[in-house]
Amino acid sequence: MNVYKNDAVRYKTEMKERIDIAAYAGMFVIFVNFISKLILKKFFPAVSGTDYMLFLAADTCISMLPFLIFYRIRCGKISDLVKTPKKQLCSNSATIFAVIFGFGSCTAANFLISVIAAYIFKFETGTVINGYVTDIPSILIAAATVGIVPAVCEELLFRGCIIGSLKKYNVFMSVVISAVIFSLVHSGINGMIFAFLCGMILGAVRIYTGRFFAAVTVHFMNNILAVILAAVKILTGGDIGNIIFYVFGAVGIILTVICVILFRMGKIKTDHIFSEEDLPYAQSAESVAGSSAMILVLLLFAVIVEM
């Protein structure tokens, strides 16, 4: 009994430490993004579209990579965090299905949030790159800086390191914490809500498939769609771009509904997600509530938003 109790205490302590590290990663990314915006606003107020997108890519790498190194030192090899035991991997066909579902759900979430924000709350919608994609070269640069770089760097941190280091304690908790921190590093109410929903979807894809690059693929597809829509609006006019956005939104909603129905019917199996070796006594909510770092990341975000 004492062995069990000591093991449980060690397990909870280790889990709380991992949660703290994840929160510190969020604080670092929020801080770097804040400083980057100040630098851009003060020293480069009239920066060109190409330079802005390159700056955006550099900012993403700078804010993510140091904590990837820190995770490597404290939590083990990054490759170990993005790997999943074979018994927890789904089939190739199920992976393709999950990627399609993930992309459809992200598109549906983006569509619904944009419509609600624009027509009910009268918020401005659209991505930050809309004003910077003006010709073919800028489209190609946007595809790399907005499509590839965030998909790889952000997924390595959020769905790779954070979920990879927390999922053995509690699968659902790992997805939620990753999504919350992912949302806080995005700006604007619309962006934060979408980032949280997208983070939950990407986390679900990562957990369900067991394949890190499935989440990277969904993230890339979601970001590249924004680039395509911006390019279409510039090259052919806003009306066609809006039509494509509505079509993708409708398709995304249909795909999401189909997946939910299949899940409810038991056609989508999730038995492989949970390992029999997972210890059952981790007090996840208590560990999250007891994380001073999680409180600090929320306070930091609140202070920066008010500035």
pLDDT digits (tens, 9 = 90+) for 178-237: 998 898 888 777 788 889 999 999 999 999 898 999 999 999 999 998 888 878 877 776
Predicted confidence band of residue 90 (pLDDT cuts 50, 70, 90): confident
Closest by CA to 149, choosing from 100, 204, 210, 219, is: 219
First to last CA, the chain: 52
Residue 50: the pLDDT is: 72
Count other Cβ atoms within 10 Å, centred on residue 167.
Answer: 24
Q: Name which residue leads in pLDDT, 1 or 69.
A: 69
Cα-Cα-Cα-Cα dihedral sign, residues 171, 173, 177, 180: positive
Residues with Cβ within 8 Å of residue 65, at least 6 apart in sequence: 153
**Section 99-125 average pLDDT:** 81
Q: Name which residue leads in pLDDT, 43 or 245.
A: 245
* For residue 89, pLDDT beyond 80: yes
**Section 259-269 average pLDDT:** 78
Residue 179: the pLDDT is: 92
Closest by CA to 109, choosing from 243, 221, 252, is: 252
Closest by CA to 103, choosing from 111, 115, 113, 114, is: 111
**Cβ burial 7-35 (10 Å sphere, 16+ → b, else e):** eeeebbeebbbbbbbbbbbbbbbbebbbe
Question: 135-161: per-residue pLDDT in tens?
Answer: 777 788 888 888 899 899 899 999 988
Residue 198: the pLDDT is: 94
Residue 216: the pLDDT is: 95
Q: Kindly report the average pLDDT of the chain as a whole number.
A: 78
Q: Name which residue leads in pLDDT, 72 or 288.
A: 72
Cα separation, 86 vs 175, in Å, equals 20
Predicted confidence band of residue 280 (pLDDT cuts 50, 70, 90): very low
Residues with Cβ within 8 Å of residue 49, at least 6 apart in sequence: 131, 132, 133, 134, 138
Residue 202: the pLDDT is: 95
Helices 92-119 and 212-236 pack at an angle, to 10 degrees, of 40
What is the percent of the chain where pLDDT is above 90? 12
* For residue 28, pLDDT beyond 60: yes
Q: Name which residue leads in pLDDT, 141 or 7.
A: 141
Task: Please name the helix (run of DSSP H) or strand (run of DSSP E) that holds residue 118, with its range, or none.
Answer: helix 92-119
Asked if residues 99 and 237 have their Cβ atoms less than 8 Å apart, the reply is: no
Residue with the two structure tokens 């990627």: 99
Q: Name which residue leads in pLDDT, 125 or 117.
A: 117
Cα separation, 158 vs 186, in Å, equals 13
Residue 2: the pLDDT is: 41
Closest by CA to 100, choosing from 228, 238, 217, 1, is: 217
Task: Please name the helix (run of DSSP H) or strand (run of DSSP E) that holds residue 112, with its range, or none.
Answer: helix 92-119
Residue 4: the pLDDT is: 42
Lowest mean pLDDT: which of 10-24, 116-130, 230-244, 290-304?
290-304
Residue type, 56: L
Predicted confidence band of residue 286 (pLDDT cuts 50, 70, 90): low
Predicted confidence band of residue 112 (pLDDT cuts 50, 70, 90): confident
Residue 151: the pLDDT is: 92
Angle 47-48-52 (CA atoms, 0-180°, nearest 5)?
75
Taking the C-alpha atoms of 150, 147, 131 and 100 in order, what is their torsion angle to the nearest 10 degrees?
-110
